């Protein structure tokens, strides 16, 4: 096997760290978001990111936490309908800006479906949640460009 062939096989098999995002579906009524957030008050899991998308009759609340397993249990226990998707969590630092990130993904013709900031990140660096068409390819590109991709374990660390 040639060196070039081995390198491309290694790159093709690389899966970047991803984090589970939960989309919780709520009736669009006063107090429903508060009810959801109270579920996490005394839970063994911490909310690190939230994004709310409002429609006339419902809202979709996107959440990232420090434990997908615990979040799954909490939502089921409280009978809150949800879905899950893997997302990338990317630190933005000097030279590794949101503009650069978009440029690199644009170069690969990858669509960013949505993005929102992390509220509570151990490194205290600006950090963003990204949902893209192909998380593996996007992760490979961003790692090659020396962006730091975070895992659930990274988000769980206390500083």
Q: Is 149 a member of any domain?
A: yes
Give the domain-ending residue among 63, 85, 107: 85
Give the domain-ending residue among 33, 51, 85: 85
Query: Tens digits of per-residue pLDDT, 13-32?
Result: 578 899 999 999 988 888 88
Q: Is 111 a member of any domain?
A: yes
pTM for the complete prediction? 0.84
Pair 75, 97 in one domain: no
Q: What does each C-alpha distance from 58 to 31, 37, 80, 131 come to in angstroms?
A: 13, 16, 13, 21
Q: Is 69 a member of any domain?
A: yes
Q: How many domains does the chain have?
A: 2
Residue 54 binned pLDDT confidence (cut-offs 50, 70, 90): confident
Q: Is 14 a member of any domain?
A: no
**1 pLDDT above the threshold of 50:** no
Give the domain-ending residue among 39, 58, 85: 85
What tokens appear for 136 in the block? 């593996």
Residue 67, CA atoms < 13 Å, CB-side half-sphere = 12
- Give the count of beta carbons closer than 10 Å to the beta carbon of residue 117: 14
Pair 64, 96 in one domain: no
Judge contact between 112 and 102, C-beta under 8 A.
yes
What is the signed CA dihedral for 143, 148, 149, 154, rounded to 10 degrees? 150
Pair 129, 115 in one domain: yes
What tokens appear for 105 in the block? 């993904």
Query: What pLDDT sits at residue 125?
Result: 87
**87 pLDDT above the threshold of 80:** yes
Query: What pLDDT sits at residue 99?
Result: 94
CATH code for the domain of 26: 3.30.2130.10
Q: Which residue has the higher pLDDT, 56 or 154?
A: 154
Pair 152, 93 in one domain: yes
Structural domain span for residue 66: 19-85
Query: What pLDDT sits at residue 28?
Result: 83
Pair 68, 127 in one domain: no
Query: What pLDDT sits at residue 12?
Result: 54
**Burial status of residue 104 (CB atoms within 10 A of its CB: 0-12, 13-18, 19 or more):** middle
């Amino acid at each position: 096997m040639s060196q070039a062939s081995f390198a491309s096989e290694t790159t093709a098999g690389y899966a970047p760290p991803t984090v589970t995002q939960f989309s919780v579906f709520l009736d669009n009524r006063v107090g429903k978001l508060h009810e959801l957030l109270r579920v996490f008050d005394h839970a063994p899991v911490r909310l690190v990111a939230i994004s709310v998308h409002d429609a006339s009759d419902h809202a979709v609340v996107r959440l990232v936490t420090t434990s997908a397993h615990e979040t799954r249990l909490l939502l089921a226990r409280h009978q809150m309908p949800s879905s899950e998707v893997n997302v990338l969590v990317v630190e933005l630092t000097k030279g590794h800006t949101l503009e650069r990130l978009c440029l690199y993904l644009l170069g690969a013709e990858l669509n960013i479906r949505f993005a929102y900031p992390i509220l509570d990140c151990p490194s205290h660096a600006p950090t963003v949640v990204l949902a893209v068409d192909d998380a593996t390819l996007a992760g490979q590109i961003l790692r090659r460009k020396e962006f730091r991709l975070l895992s659930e374990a990274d988000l769980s660390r206390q500083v």
